[in-house]
Chain A
Amino acid sequence: MINRIHTLLIISVQLSLLLVMGACGVTTTARIDPALTLENPGFQTSVSHAPDPDDTDTIRDIEFMEVYDPWEPMNRSLYNFNAGFDDYVFLPVTNAYETVLPVPVRSGVSNFIQNANEVPTFVNCLLQGRIEKSAITFSRFAINSTFGVLGVMDLASNNEDLQLQKEDVGQTLGRWGVGNGPYFVMPILGPSNLRDTVGFGGDLLLVLYQMKYAYKILGVKNTKTLAITELLIRSINKRSNEPFRYHSTGSPFEYEMIRFIYTKRRELDVER
């Protein structure tokens, strides 16, 4: 029975994707104007501010933004790949998801996943020896799983003292003194570093283990289809809740900005 529902679900999602994919995305109009082809006018400034690679003494105003990034050319390629993947696959799918499902359903799904994620967060809080965060996370899970109908409603967040905690394996490793390592742009998933990429593997293992355990309790037979569907929905939900859009900062230095913000934020997340 459950299998049949899933097959139906998958088919209907695929159908609606096909329907909506054509409709979303940016419509581009082409214009012809020979004066606007950006031919090189041959102009050179007499003053140059070009960076001098030999000058390492001058303190630059924004040199705090520098991040250890020995794999930069590869990372930049991956960043561009991710932007393309976002435009042609991830966002169209996310848009379809947002079009097909009304807001209450989506927030239910989102809350349900968030509630399930309290478990790995709890494990990480414990691994870091953080008693208060563990208690908050445990209380949230208890309240939302019961009164919040298996986590579909996030009642706990109404209480100022029970705000969502975010702790992952990357943060735990950081807490244990593991350094960032080189900056790394993960395919599809985006900004990371060596430590957090390893951490992500740990997070994924925790989630898979949790899913396996839940399926066992529920007595699900064909776990493979269900697991793939769940992971897909988790990814779409995650993208849907993430407002970031590639190339939307309006800066040619977006890669550098994101790299800095990611690194700084993770540094602070490990500390707090």
Chain B
Amino acid sequence: MRQLVYILLLVILLPATAHAVQDAAYPFDDAFKATVYGTPPEMTYKIEKPVKPKVEAIRIENRKVPDVFSYSAAMNYSKALQKDEAPLIFIVAGTGAEHNSAKMRFLTQAFYQAGFHVVALSSPTHMNFLVSVSQHAAPGYVPYDVEDLYRVMLWIKEDIEKERDVSDYYVTGYSLGALHTAFLSKLDDDRGDFNFRKALMINPPVSLYHSVGRIDSWLTPENLGDKSVHDEIDRMVDLFSDYYKSAEVTDLDDNFLYDLVTHVDLEGKDLKALIGVDFRVSSSAMIFASDVCLQAGYVVPTDAYPLSSTTPLMPYSEVAFEISFKSYLDEFLLPYLQYLDPGIDHYTMIQRCSLYEIRDYLETADKVMVIGNRNDPILNEYDLSFIDKVFGERATFFPTGGHCGNIMYGPFVEKMLGMVTP
């Protein structure tokens, strides 16, 4: 009985833990730690009244969606509309991310709270987008991807204007979505459909090709030393398993994932490898989906078609995982682009997927702005000085935060919102 009273006292005296340390400095100085760990839950920007975004879908009539992707025939997006007239912001996801991924959910809430109608779009590199609405079905070539995005955004604009008054249009995106943002702004200036008031690039790469090259390099022998990718992943799975066994967890939620990566002692090269593996998971999904849509014989041999919804896919998953993004660009995307338009060469492809392509525009377009981090591992010193030179005052850099690691961090979010709200 005494023990019961003791337990009861403990229960009553221990309040549910909730810290409020909004103003504390961002804790991870190391770029790779920041990228992997993200923002500690108690330091994330507070969303006072979360809105429940609606998921909507767009389907193209008579589109020949492969059977194996029948569940992905319509393009899904999230929308959260204010009750009355408001400005509308489109958010474009980063590589391989969906409209309702963790970062996208957060950005949707943050911009909604700041008074925007919000439309969140999956990245054109996400399988659902590619399967359901992409014209050429081979993502990674920015001019095509931006055309696809632009077309979808026009349709959504048309639908939303029937529902609500929209005062102005804005566009933003993080990572690859930030690169898309710049090109969308340029395209809109040429065509005049949205007349974007502001275009905010969050953690953009300068050149898609150079940035993915850097990420690819983290899975090469130079980074991994004597270990193979297989051994490295194996080791990490073991580390995480040990943590899972020892920890008092009952739910595999976001907080658990945060605890997991922060409690398991990972070295610099492990963190790099983890980012590399995460990227490969996205790119292998994209490569496989693209190959199946085009029946190009890259991963799935042509005599294996038709794939049905019951076909085992593990062998394809294994080979697709081992294809670097750079190999995809060289072996699949470039030949395909040349097949469609013989004038394109390797240099043109890379140039058109970088901010260099629209440098003149960016130098004078006051509405286009950048927010990022000085130690973003997908940027090198040339990229940073390019952004400084081209954007000048319109670029804001935090000293730390890695690649999108501080995207939910209070001061970063306040700055970000301040850049688009008048």
Contact = CB atoms under 8 A, between A and B. Distances in A.
A247 B71 contact: yes
Nearest to A32: B61
A253 B135 contact: no
Contacts of B64: 37-40
Interface residues of A, number: 69
Interface stretch (B23-31, B240-248, B395-403): B240-248
Interface string B317-343: 111111100000001100110011000
Nearest to B336: A43
B7 A47 contact: no
Contacts of B230: 59-64
A250 B98 contact: yes
A69 B314 CA distance: 11
Contact of A61 (B54, B56, B233, B237): B233
A231 B90 CA distance: 43
A264 interface: yes
B155 A29 contact: yes
Interface string A78-121: 00100100000000000000000000000000000000000000
B194 interface: no
Interface in B336-363: 336, 339-340
Given A37-B60, A66-B314, A45 B332 contact: yes
Contacts of B237: 64, 264
Nearest to B302: A44
B336 A163 contact: no
A51 B315 contact: yes
Nearest to A244: B252
A29 B59 contact: yes
Contacts of A44: 296-297, 302
A237 to B, nearest CB: 15
Given A139-B7, A253-B285, A256-B314, A83 B71 contact: yes
Given A49-B320, A50-B319, A272 B244 contact: yes
B317 A256 contact: yes
The dominant DSSP class at the A interface is loop
A166 B248 CA distance: 11
- Which of A32, A33, A73, A139 is the most central at the interface, judged by chain B CB atoms within 10 Å of its CB? A33
Interface in B268-307: 281, 284-285, 288-289, 292-302, 304
Interface stretch (A154-162, A190-198, A214-222): A154-162
- Which of A47, A139, A243 is the most central at the interface, judged by chain B CB atoms within 10 Å of its CB? A47
B51 interface: no
Contact of B297 (A38, A48, A80, A256): A48
A252 B285 contact: yes
A189 to B, nearest CB: 18
Contacts, number: 216
Contacts of B309: 76-77, 80
A27 B56 contact: yes
B18 interface: no
Contact of B250 (A30, A77, A164): A164
Interface string B25-59: 00000000000000000000000000000111111
Contacts of B372: none
A37 B62 contact: yes
B7 A143 contact: yes
Interface string A219-263: 000000000000000000000000100111011110110000000
A247 B335 contact: no
B244 A268 contact: yes
A76 B311 CA distance: 8
Contacts of A60: 230, 318-319, 321-322
A51 B315 CA distance: 6
B321 A62 contact: yes
B72 A247 contact: yes
Contacts of A243: 253
Interface of A: 26-33, 35-41, 43-51, 53, 59-66, 69, 72-74, 76-77, 80, 83, 139, 142-143, 147, 155-156, 158-160, 162-164, 166, 243, 246-248, 250-253, 255-256, 264-265, 268, 271-272
Interface of B: 4, 7-8, 10-12, 14-16, 54-65, 68-69, 71-72, 74, 76, 96-98, 100-101, 122, 126-128, 133, 135-137, 151, 155, 159, 228-230, 233-234, 237, 241, 244-246, 248, 250, 252-253, 281, 284-285, 288-289, 292-302, 304, 309-323, 331-332, 335-336, 339-340
5 contacts: A28-B58, A29-B59, A36-B63, A51-B316, A158-B11
